[in-house]
Structure 1
Amino acid sequence: MESHKVELYIYDLSLGMAAHFSPILIGKKIDGIWHTSIVVYNREYFFGSRGVESCNPGSTALGTPKEIKLLGETQIPYSVFIQYLSGLSETNYSGSNYQLLHNNCNNFSQEIAQFLCSANIPKYILDLPNEVLNSSLGPAVPALVAQLEKSARPIAEEQRRFSRENSPDLTKEIEEARYNSFLLEQRRKTLTEKLAKKERKKEKKRRKILKEGGVVPAELEDITMADTAAVNGNPESTLPSEQVLALEEEERKEEEEKKKARDPPIVFKDLIDVKDEFDSLVALIDGKLSPEEQKSTEELQQYMIGDEGSWALSDGFLDYINRLLNDKNLPADVRVKTMNLLAMAALKDDVILVLHQDRKDHVLMNFAYEIDRLSREEQEAVALFMANMFENLSSSEWLLYISEWQYNTQQISNIRVTTKVSVHCLLSDNPILQDRGSAIIYNLAAKEVKTVVFDDIAVEITMALLQYFNQKPSEEQLFRCMKALARFADVSRQEVPQLIQMIGPEPKTFRVAKISLKPVSTSSFTHNYFVSTIKNIL
């Protein structure tokens, strides 16, 4: 999937005056009154008193940002991002919900940064309101900053507001057109650069042949003629369209090869009959729901059986799920059926929009975190949900979010919950949980993650893997776990190899059939250990 840079534009609304006058006015130095925006897909997105808006990067009255900070890259499709943005503009980030000190542009930037690439904006920016409020002039400052905030609006009529009340379809079409234009321009530049590079290589090869006094091979004759014509500016050179088509064909083949080489996730697509599971759920909750919850049941049916998109789910859908999962007055089977249906929903391309409804209350991950207190059937459903989340890139990235929240007395995050579920399942004495736990760990290890997320979890999962090897794993599960172990050793080049050396496993204890494994790149010790272990297994 194509990646896009995610940048944070940082502006000083005071244009330097805050740093100069703040020690006098409030008794402490404040370097700036910060306004931030997110730049991605070649557009600048920000939040203000008029709601969520976008414009060409740097086209507000604030001019050039004081600092541009690269937050990371995103592979979230543009269409998904626009739907997410439209949802925000109607809820927490509508114009009426704008609060200068408590729900402002910086809070919006933080939310978007988390959604796109699990990044955080600088803490000093988010902490600024508290510094201002705790000063002697705290109550007087908002009025001043409110005036300054107007300068963050676009100069020209460039802006687009993200509100479904304000011609949503037209807004989306305009944004799609802008983005498609951007993609075409980027594509043109890329192709031009590749063509130029290819021509330089051909010219270099031709000159080398001529320099060595050799005869130009017949198969290079047309190339050298085209190269010479191109160098001399002859319009009779190879048609650009033909070159572009050839390059596109090369790129397509390269992409296919990459897909073939990439390890597909292990998911469970055919375990649940969605219609039967939904009918069973309805029978269990019949007569026990409020009118709003009955409406949510209908929305769930449209989404899961009617094959409608996530747009069919209202903003209160996660409240409905929360009731089904946490109301102890409902039968335990309700929780099982609900999680099984969500596991099937995890296979849908747009499930990320459902997940991001849960960014505030963390209903799904709080429930999953309690896996060791759930019944066996509930645990199996949670494990199925977690494994199937790896079907799509965006939902698997969601599982790796590192932003923390407090649950009971503990600080947890998506990645911590994912780790706990995978380890618990793998070390269970339940074969179904072991199967799904090994699948989750395999999927974690197979991901191409560009962050340092694995540094925090590699050791914990390695300990679970080494403990699991003391059991008698099946051939398939052993294959998954050894692949994961090699990957974690590659990520954590010191701790994981040391654990393997100290704890084991003893490969001769395994009695399984021949397994085909691809070579892995690890540290010297781990590579040798891995190879010798596999040889003993074979």
Structure 2
Amino acid sequence: MEKNKVELWIYDLSMGMAKNLAHMLIGKPLEGIWHTSIVVYGREYMFNSNGVENCIPGSHQLKTPERVEVLGYTEVPLSVFAEYISTLSESSYAGSTYDLFKHNCNTFSEEIAQFLVGKSIPQYILDLPNEVLSSKLSPQILDLLTKFERSAHVVTNREGSPGYEQLNIEIEEARYNSFLLEQRRKRLRDKLLKKERKREKKRKKDLMEGSSISVEEENATMAEAGVISGNSTDGQPALKQILALEEEEKREQEKRKKSRDPPIVFVGEIDEQAEFDVLVGAIEQVIDKEEEDYMEQLSQYLLDEEGCWALSDGFLLFIAKILYEPAYTSEVRISLMKIMAFAALKDDFILLLHQDREHHVFMNYLTQIDSLPLDQARAASLFLANLFENLSSSEWLLYISEWTFMGKTLSNIRVTTKVGVHCLLADDAVLQDRGSAIIYNMACKEVKTVVYDDVAVELTMAVLQFLKVKPNEEFLFRSIKALSKFMEISRQEVPQLIQMIGPDPRDFMGTSRRIDKLINEMGQRLL
């Protein structure tokens, strides 16, 4: 059976205050006011005065835990666990049963830990209520502890347009869960195919030796190995069903790829092994043991062709440390972003992007492209351009959910637009190459509805400004192609802009056959 890691996330509700004030308030030292939750199956489960809640790990007010302890691995199926949680939330762990000292988040975590892995949470956490209760507490202190507890609630009401924001969160969660489901299905298919090859090899060996194996014996062998066997309801073997499904999915993917213009990405510009060696040499003197493990994970994913599962939960925070902390040089950041640009070409890189929805490590870095040194900006733009290689990551670049960074409201589509415009209009041929590719890719996305009119207008203005410098044929082709697509998205504003700002695309007739073809196709849409 598939095993799932079970983690205990430990938060200090007092945010460090308990350590400094506990002796004065309750007459004894305390390291923290501990709140715990269980993280399993990609979700965080907790109990508070609202009852049992679950969310994307860390997506509540407490955000980052003080520490994380791995309790073990469970073979309990998610469906069984979901039914168990549902029962608890309607009975012994309904919101009305919550008691700050006697029946709280930690007693819930203890019960879940016992159910999943048969193991207790640390004793110092379970002992905390008795330590506090044995002290004489004033009403003010009780009120303070209650406020601490409320900070552990999952936030469901947000500023602005809560329904609109929640809808986008649910859409992105659906994409993420769909990807996880596909990964599990892929592992099952791989396992089945591996067992099928072994069975075929054994069959051939038996034939050569003059013996045979019955269908019943084959199915028993498969069942003993823990692999799905037997026939489906329509008589088709399970393995054949999965292979048929695989072929159907491949055809659908090919159909989607053919329906869009191929993206412009930069496949051959990175020597991943050389860049990885540069990165290792530049940071090996300043990283600790845990960060060495992250580098080993990166090596497995990048060089050993392991899946994105090789990257642990803390990997993104390690990336953030390199990108933002002054201890790391510009050379280190350049190598890291080049490596990420290579990784962006992998079809499962989307999993890492979805994990970045809480901290926005990549997009917060990219939005600063106009203040980055030239070589860093080149590496950053390479990374973003290569994200258009796969349908899933290219769609991620155009997400509209918002967050705040350095006092500015950002979204994926706004950052992608900013990077494309900045690079296109930069006084550097490399950045122009990346910028024209990014804007071309944005314009040619097959889901046109995600590119709003205001974004199409902003990109159009940048393209028209770029055309005034009379770019080379390749850059000109990308620009004219983008204008053609933007005219389909914004049928009034874009033609009007072309007329008011210029230059007129028809001024470039005769540059090349493919450009002439594009201009002719624009036809009557040009005023």
Q: Same fold (TM over 0.5)?
A: yes
Distance in 1, Cα, partners of 2:371 & 2:461: 22
Matching residue's letter, 1:528: Q
Q: Using the TM superposition, give the Cα deviation of residue 61 of structure 1 relative to its aligned residue in structure 2, in angstroms.
A: 9.8
Provide the C-alpha distance between the structure 2 equivalents of 1:341 and 1:256, rounded to a whole number of angstroms: 27
Alpha-carbon distance change, 420 to 256 in structure 1, aligned in 2, over 3 angstroms: closer
* 8 Å Cα contact 1:340-1:385 kept in structure 2: yes
1:321-360 aligned within 5 A: 321-360=319-358
Q: State the match for 1:527 in structure 2.
A: 523
Q: 1:387 aligns with which of 385, 388, 413?
A: 385
CA deviation map 1:126-159 (0-9, x unaligned): xxxxxxxxxxxxxxxxxxxxxxxxxxxxxxxxxx
The aligned amino acid for 2:524 is N
The answer to whether the 8 Å contact 1:47/1:104 transfers is no
SS in 1 for 2:431: helix
When residues 332 and 528 of structure 1 are mapped into structure 2, their CA distance, relative to the original with a 3 A threshold, is same
Tell whether 2:116 aligns with 1:116: no
Once the two structures are superposed, residues 383-427 of structure 1 have per-residue CA deviations (whole angstroms, 9 ceiling, x without a partner) of 101110011111111100111101111101110000000000000
1:476 aligns with 2:465: no
Structure 1 residue 501: Cα displacement: 1.1
The residue type equivalent to 2:501 in the other structure is: I
Aligned to 1:401, the other structure's residue is in SS state: coil
Paired position in structure 1 for 2:23: none
8 Å CA contact 1:51, 1:98 repeated in 2 = no
Change (3 A) 1:406 1:495: same
Q: Which residue of 2 aligns with 1:377?
A: 375
Aligned residue among 442, 459, 462 for 1:461: 459
When structure 1 is superposed on structure 2, of 432-441 and 513-522 the one drifting more is 513-522
1:369–1:417 CA contact under 8 A, matched in 2: yes
Return the letter of the residue paired with 2:306: E
Cα distance in 2 for residues equivalent to 1:289 and 1:339: 18
In the alignment, structure 2 segments of 5+ residues that lack a partner are 1-42, 47-51, 56-77, 88-111, 114-120, 122-148, 158-162, 182-186, 193-226, 237-243
For residues 475-500 of structure 1, the C-alpha deviation after alignment (integer angstroms, 9 at most, x for no partner) is 01111111111111110111111101
The answer to whether structure 1 residue 400 and structure 2 residue 398 are counterparts is yes
SS in 1 for 2:409: strand
Name the amino acid aligned to 1:113.
I
Quick one: distance in 2 between partners of 1:256 and 1:519? 26
Q: Greater CA deviation, 311-320 or 97-106?
A: 97-106
Aligned to 1:71: none
From the superposition, tell whether residues 519 and 496 of structure 1 become closer, same or farther in structure 2 (CA, over 3 Å): same
Give, in whole Å, the separation in 2 of the partners of 1:308 and 1:275.
15
Q: Which residue matches 1:289?
A: 287
Cα distance change of structure 1 residues 459 and 117 upon mapping to structure 2, 3 Å threshold: farther
The match for 2:514 is 516
Moved more, 257-266 or 274-283: 257-266
Number of matched residues?
Answer: 340
Determine the C-alpha separation between the residues in 2 that align with 1:483 and 1:510. 13
Q: Counterpart in 2 of 1:102?
A: 154
User: Partner of 2:513: helix, strand, or coil?
Assistant: coil
- Displacement of 1:329: 2.2
**Aligned match of 1:303:** 301
**497 and 110 in structure 1: CA distance in 2 versus 1, 3 angstrom threshold:** closer
Assess, with a 3 A threshold, how the Cα gap between structure 1 residues 113 and 372 changes in structure 2: closer, same or farther. same
- TM-score normalized by the length of structure 2: 0.55
Aligned partners of 1:277, 1:302: CA distance in 2, in Å?
Answer: 15
**Contact persistence 1:390–1:396 (CA under 8 A):** yes
Alpha-carbon spacing, 1:414–1:508, altered in 2? closer, same or farther (3 Å):
closer
Q: Which amino acid aligns with 2:263?
A: P
Q: What is the CA distance between 1:102 and its match in structure 2?
A: 1.8
Among candidates 264, 267, 276, match of residue 265 of structure 2: 267
Distance 2:304 2:86 in 1: 48
User: In structure 2, do the counterparts of structure 1 residues 109 and 423 end up closer, same or farther at CA, with 3 Å as the change threshold?
Assistant: closer
Cα distance in structure 2, aligned partners of 1:99 and 1:409: 23
Displacement of 1:510 after TM fit?
4.3
State TM-score, norm by structure 1: 0.54
Classify the secondary structure of the residue corresponding to 1:516. Answer: helix
Q: Distance in 2 between matches of 1:493 and 1:351?
A: 35
Match of 2:415 in 1: 417
Which residue of 356, 362, 365 corresponds with 1:364?
Answer: 362
Shift of 1:513: 3.6
Q: Report the AA paired with residue 333 of structure 2.
A: R
Aligned to 2:92: none
- Structure 1 gap segments, 5+ residues each: 1-44, 63-88, 91-95, 119-161, 163-167, 186-243, 533-538
Native 8 Å contact 1:98 1:104 kept in 2: no
Is the 1:46–1:109 Cα contact (8 Å) retained in structure 2? no
Secondary structure (helix, strand or coil) at the match of 1:289 reads: coil
2:499 is the alignment partner of 1:501: yes
> Contact 1:466–1:500 (CA<8 Å) still a contact in 2?
yes
Report the Cα distance in structure 1 between the residues aligned to 2:512 and 2:375, rounded to whole angstroms.
33
One-letter amino acid matched to 2:372 = L
Q: Which amino acid aligns with 2:154?
A: H
Closer, same or farther: CA 98–270 of 1 in aligned 2, 3 Å: farther
The letter of the residue matching 1:102 is V
* Structure 1 CA distance for aligned equivalents of residues 449 and 44 of structure 2: 25
The alignment partner of 2:468 has SS state of coil
When residues 108 and 455 of structure 1 are mapped into structure 2, their CA distance, relative to the original with a 3 A threshold, is closer
- Partner residue, 2:428: 430
Q: Percent identity?
A: 48
Task: Report the Cα distance in structure 2 between the residues aligned to 1:303 and 1:252, rounded to whole angstroms.
Answer: 24
Q: Distance in 2 between matches of 1:352 and 1:327?
A: 25
Cα distance change, pair 470–263 in 1 and its aligned pair in 2 (3 A): same
Aligned partner of 1:155 in structure 2 is none
Q: 1:402 touches 1:453 (CA, 8 Å); kept in 2?
A: no
Alpha-carbon distance between aligned partners in 2 of 1:253 and 1:102, rounded to the nearest angstrom: 41
* Partner Cα distance (1:454, 1:343) in 2: 27
Q: How many angstroms does 1:527 deviate by?
A: 3.5
Instruction: Summarize the Cα distance change of 1:395–1:254 in structure 2 as closer, same or farther, 3 Å threshold.
Output: closer
Aligned pairs (5 A) from 1:31-430: 49=52, 101-102=153-154, 111-116=169-174, 259-260=257-258, 262-430=260-428
Q: Secondary structure at the match of 1:405?
A: strand
Offset from partner CA, 1:28-67 (integer Å, 9 cap, x none): xxxxxxxxxxxxxxxxx99883868569xxxx999xxxxx
2:484 corresponds to 1:486? yes
Partner SS state of residue 473, structure 1: coil
